[in-house]
Structure 1
């Protein structure tokens, strides 16, 4: 059994998709980000970065003590190796998947995260920040579109953890004001992936817990500020 620490957000959905696609047994452990659960001593012992997701594998492949993994990219690779799925075993294929997975965690996710924050959530609308991250969001979409014009999936002709990592972030296109129709190859890929049953189950996980309505000042601090953050 895998304990899955998550919240209804793109980085959590990445891992939820993988768990569902692989059919691995798991139990969600909901982290209420607005309430500040991510800053608790209990959670920081699991994920010292105080973010989601994280897992505890209670039945690791080596038969030893439970294994804790944090950071979404690391979790996806761990699960791929555990299940023996969605990560090629040949040198070149595996390298391509790792490159596009790291591209997601280093570029697509952070860019869209910052764009979404300044565009949708920041109380003070800063034109420079909004424009700067909007331009960068369009740039990473262009990178993705060019790649998907060359192959069916991001890392080649097979669906992989790289696609699972990118999908939940592309899923935010409408809220972020991204003209998806202008990126024909991304749209083709996006529409095709939406048909996968495992992926659909993954992105629906926790939909009933998604935050709605206005946030209190304390909730804003927990989500966007430095409430209870620790400096070593």
Structure 2
């Protein structure tokens, strides 16, 4: 059994997609980041950086594994179960390359795009333009990579699970999708996968009005 500390953010969706694709038993422990649940001590034991997602894999070989960072979770669990990450060679290198492209580029830049464009109390035109432009540049990189491909590294992989939740938010990022027909087709292809649909159903059911205290979180972990 895997305990997943989760909120329906792009990084949270990555892990529900993976777990649904792998067909693993897991339990969602909701962490309401709008109400600072991420600073509860029992959560920090699994995620010292106080960010979701994080997992506790109770069946990990050699003993229980506590793991934070979405890219690490995707890599470790895919490798453990022998799916969605090739074991060696060029195919593995391509998947890891595009996973790291998302982790180091698309995610941070689109995240800043979201912040300055949607959430910042002060609208700073320079910052908004900077991150919208950089997001568009990254979409262009992805658009070219998807030419003639169904998935970013050829075969469906953890790289797609990482990328999809970010480009799904293209409207929030002020992207002109007429410029990116390959990404439009990719979004439809990814969204049609049953595991992706099941993963996003968890997000739709998330209660942003509820929050945890330490006692309640500990009760959930002990159950």
Normalising by structure 1, we get a TM-score of 0.87
1:132 to 108, 130, 133: 130
Q: Does 1:200 align with 2:186?
A: no
CA-based RMSD: 1.5
Match of 1:168 among 140, 154, 165: 165
CA offsets, 1:105-140, max 9 Å, x none?
Answer: 100111110001110111110001000001001000
Q: Is the 8 A contact 1:7 1:32 kept in 2?
A: yes
1:79-112 residue CA offsets vs partner (Å, 9 max, x unmatched): 1012211111231100100000000010011111
**1:19 aligned onto 2:16:** no
Distance 2:197 2:23 in 1: 13
Give the deviation of 1:16 after TM superposition.
0.4
Partners of 1:14 and 1:109 lie apart in 2 by 12
Report the alpha carbon displacement of residue 181 of structure 1 after superposing the two structures with TM: 2.5
Question: What is the match of residue 108 of structure 1?
Answer: 106
Tell me, in whole angstroms, the C-alpha distance in 2 between the residues paired with 1:26 and 1:92.
32
Question: Alignment partner for residue 93 of structure 2, among 84, 92, 95?
Answer: 95
Offset from partner CA, 1:126-185 (integer Å, 9 cap, x none): 0010000010010000000010014321112x1000001001111111222211231011
Which stretches of structure 1, 4 residues or longer, exceed 6 Å deviation after superposition?
A: none
Aligned counterpart, 1:43: 43
Deviations 1:52-78 (A, max 9, x none): 100010011x2x320111100000011
TM-score (norm 2): 0.90
Alpha-carbon separation, structure 2, partners of 1:167 and 1:66: 29
- 2:113 and 2:132 in contact (8 A); partners too: yes
Aligned residues: 210
Q: Residues of 2 paired with 1:134 and 1:211: CA distance?
A: 27
